Amino acid sequence: MNEQAPAFVHQWIDLAQPRLGAEIVSCSDDFFAACSRMLSPEPPVFIDGKFDDNGKWMDGWETRRRRNGGYDNAVVKLGLPGEIMGIDIDTTHFTGNYPPAASLEACYSNGPPDDNTQWATLLDSTALLGDRHHYYMIESAACFTHLRLNIYPDGGIARLRVYGRVVCEIATLDKSKPHNLAAVELGARAIAWNDAHFGAAANLLNPGPGLNMGDGWETRRRREPGNDWCIIELGQVGQIGEVLIDTAHFKGNFPDRCSLQAALVEAGTVDSIITQSQFWQEILPQQKLKMDSEHGFKDEVQQLGPVSHVRLNIFPDGGLSRVRLLGRLDG
């Protein structure tokens, strides 16, 4: 357990996001606080003096005190099937009411798990502490759709984050139609960026429109020469035919211009990809941007053939809400 966020938090996406379709399938008890709050994308908060009919209002999942033995559990349907790289069991604000221990199981199921479901143990029973993050790396190459979080014997969990790689069945996709190659649903992810002071680069790939200015990628104010950038690993290799850049909600802080470079990367580390990306070919030359607008570029897109990664450059700094890269799958 390490309270400092490990690399997997930034490298992979949270598969348990409600916006991806994640939901609570069942729970043994949520007398004090609804289990669904455990998946909320916002950081947990504590509201002093707030009570409801059952007691102190808590921002998370909290069960009643067990008096008859046993333990509590919650079954979570992941938003997208995937390989799990790491988890965060967060007990923030739970001090005298956190579970002393927890374990985590997972399965692959086309429907809600039942009594015949075979569960794999991802995390053996492990001690928890109050009011902190508990990060664990998961060593499993299997694809899962559901998780079962067990808490011993009862108590409260503020948030459950499940970081992993989306597994998309490419055989099920219609290759005759264009797809958003930068869609999380296809497995796309932001793998590197030079700055994300105000908003994570991963937000660029979130499904649906941006919710607000915080639901985008925003860099600090640049006080030196140069420009900001991020690198996106496409969900599937393909040929990009249209680029959509959305500055929704960014008004006094949108980038003046943007450009895109791209390449077909066959091997390498994140560090080597960062170095190589400086010399990738331009797929979209510099384009002027407007505040709070969606920009569509089609005629301006250069045809480079199949690509697997893009480098998004913004000049000199600022914030973008969403990036969509429409194209046809390769192969």
Percentage of the residues of the chain whose pLDDT score is greater than 70:
98
Q: Is position 294 within any domain?
A: yes
Position 202 in a domain: yes
Q: Is residue 200 located within the same domain as residue 154? A: no
Reading the block at residue 36, the tokens are 């669904």
Question: Considering the domain boundaries, does residue 1 fall inside one?
Answer: no
Residue that the structure tokens 């692959």 belong to:
108
Q: Are residues 132 and 29 in the same domain?
A: yes
Asked whether residue 306 falls in the same domain as residue 160, the answer is: no
pLDDT of the residue at 224: 97
Same domain, 111 and 188: no
279 and 242 assigned to the same domain:
yes
Give the three-state DSSP class for 18: helix
Instruction: Tell whether 249 and 294 lie within a shared domain.
Output: yes
Q: What is the pLDDT of residues 171-221, one digit of tens each?
A: 678 888 999 999 999 999 999 999 999 999 999 999 999 999 999 999 999
End residue of a domain, out of 121, 138, 166: 166
- 230 falls in which pLDDT band (50, 70, 90)? very high
pLDDT band of 3, cuts 50, 70, 90: low
| CA 1 vs CA 41, 87, 88, 161: distances in Å | 22, 11, 10, 15
| Domains held by the chain: number | 2
Nearest CA among 215, 293, 167, 171 for reference residue 41: 215
Measured CA distances, 185 to 132, 164, 180, 189 (Å):
30, 12, 9, 10
Given 166, 188, 206, the domain boundary residue is: 166
Average of per-residue pLDDT across 155-180: 90
At residue 286, the pLDDT reads 98
Domain that holds residue 99: 7-166
Q: What is the pLDDT of residue 331?
A: 64
Domain boundary residue among 166, 193, 228?
Answer: 166
pLDDT digits (tens, 9 = 90+) for 47-99: 999 999 999 999 999 999 999 999 999 999 999 999 999 999 999 999 999 99
Is the backbone peptide bond immediately before 178 cis, with ω within 30 degrees of 0? no
pTM here is: 0.90
Same domain (yes/no): 256, 183:
yes
Tell me whether residue 95 is in a domain.
yes
pLDDT at 45 over 50: yes
Reported residue count of the chain is 331
- Percent of the chain exceeding pLDDT 90 equals 94
Residue 233 lies in a domain: yes
Q: Are residues 18 and 131 in the same domain?
A: yes
- Looking at the structure, tell me whether residues 133 and 234 fall in a common domain: no
Q: Are residues 200 and 97 in the same domain?
A: no
Instruction: Please indicate, yes or no, if residue 189 is contained in any of the structural domains.
Output: yes
- CATH assignment of the domain containing 12: 2.60.120.260
Per-residue pLDDT at 51: 95
The reported pLDDT for the residue numbered 176 is 84
Q: Write b or e for each residue in 55-65: b if 16 or more Cβ atoms lie within 10 A of its Cβ, otherwise e.
A: eeebbbbbbee
| Mean pLDDT of the residues in the chain | 96
Q: In whole angstroms, give the CA distance from residue 291 to residue 287.
A: 13
268 lies in the same domain as 316? yes
SS3 69: coil
Please write the tens of the pLDDT for every residue from 267-319.
Answer: 999 999 999 999 999 999 999 999 999 999 999 999 999 999 999 999 999 99
Residue 2, domain member (yes or no): no
Distance of CA 204 to the CA centre of its chain: 11
Residue 241 lies in a domain: yes
Question: Sorting pLDDT into bands at 50, 70 and 90, what band is 170?
Answer: confident
Instruction: Give Cα separations from 44 to 8, 197, 240 (angstroms).
Output: 20, 20, 39
- Whether residues 157 and 189 fall in one domain: no
Residue 2 has a pLDDT of: 44
**Cα separations (Å) of 30 from 66, 105, 106, 202, 309?**
12, 19, 21, 32, 43
